[in-house]
Amino acid sequence: MEEVGGGTVCVTGGTGYVASWLIMRLLQHGYSVRATVRSNPSAESKRDISYLTNLPGAPDRLQIFHADLNQPETFNEAIQGCTGVFHVAHPIDVEGKEPEETVTNRALEGTLGILKACINSKTVKRVIYTSSLATILFNSKGLSETDESTWSELDLCKSSSLVSSSYLVSKTVVERAALEFAEKHGLDLVTVVLPIVFGPFICPNIPASVYMGLAPIFGDEDKCKYLTNTYMVHIDDVASAHIHLLEHSNAKGRYICSSVQTTIHELYDFLPARYPDFQIRMSDNLNEIKSYKRSKVSSRKLLSTGFKFEYGLGEMFDGAVQCCKEKGFL
């Protein structure tokens, strides 16, 4: 692939945490951006997306398109004429409110429809697909270090008691299918495999991953269980990695983008020391929470392309806490 370094790109799921921050950074990099958002049939409940349309550069270089994964053809207009596509949109059902098959089919058909639109456009040079460590971690190999060659096993995904099987299965099935489709049809597709994305945010509501990370500060003991053994990355590093992989001429296949691994016990030591003014809610059964050893997650492949992580755990929490204060959540 030739170096992109500008031009017109499409970002699906534009109102989400990762997508909105990515749009902001793309505009700063000089790109023209077409963002897709889900259309709302009710004019009275029309979503306020001023946090996107008011971004620096947005009046001249941001276009909003309405599209829905349930109707993949609705993405065609936004993709036509783009040189790059960031497919970030995915049905989020971590708590399992919808049947596994429903979520998976919606994500799969939507993604394949978007990839077909990329091929039909004749202009798209590369697609960056946003994936999750859920597609890697749920395996029975007992590896000391995990990399992009590992895939989650669907049987383990379906038996998970921590995260809903619909989320785990859909992410795993869709990433595999996207890579297979791209290889079959000669489409340049790169996937970015993300852990918990954490840090500041420009969207008006607290992103689910940010709330999860701040569960000890919010006193949500139920959500603390997700932090038992945690892999995290700063939102700005996520956006930078997406843009880097779009522009890097030799990028190929999957890339893990994870910079920090921690445990709930380590967080309960870290948080009171960093934020003495907050009452950090200790879980009543903290001693019963086992920080079971998971494999180390390697971002070596991403780093080998020349990418560098800029932020650590402190910056992640500082950014998240500051945004929550500014928006009145803390």
How big is the chain, counted in residues?
330
Distance CA 233, CA 236 (A): 9
Which two three-digit tokens encode residue 106? 């919606």
List 125, 171, 293, 327, catalytic entry = 171
What's the Cα-to-Cα distance from 60 to each of 27, 53, 54, rounded to whole Å?
Answer: 10, 10, 11
What's the Cα-to-Cα distance from 229 to each of 45, 133, 165, 296, 304, rounded to whole Å?
Answer: 39, 13, 19, 11, 26
CB 36 within 8 A of CB 65: yes
Q: What share of the chain is helix, strand, coil (3-state, %, to 5)?
A: 45, 15, 40
In the annotation, is 171 catalytic? yes
CA dihedral 35, 37, 39, 45 (to 10 degrees): -120
Which two three-digit tokens encode residue 11? 């970002």
Which two three-digit tokens encode residue 121? 């456009």
**Whose structure tokens read 């007992």?**
142
The DSSP output letter for 265 is H
The DSSP output letter for 277 is T
Q: Catalytic amino acids?
A: 171
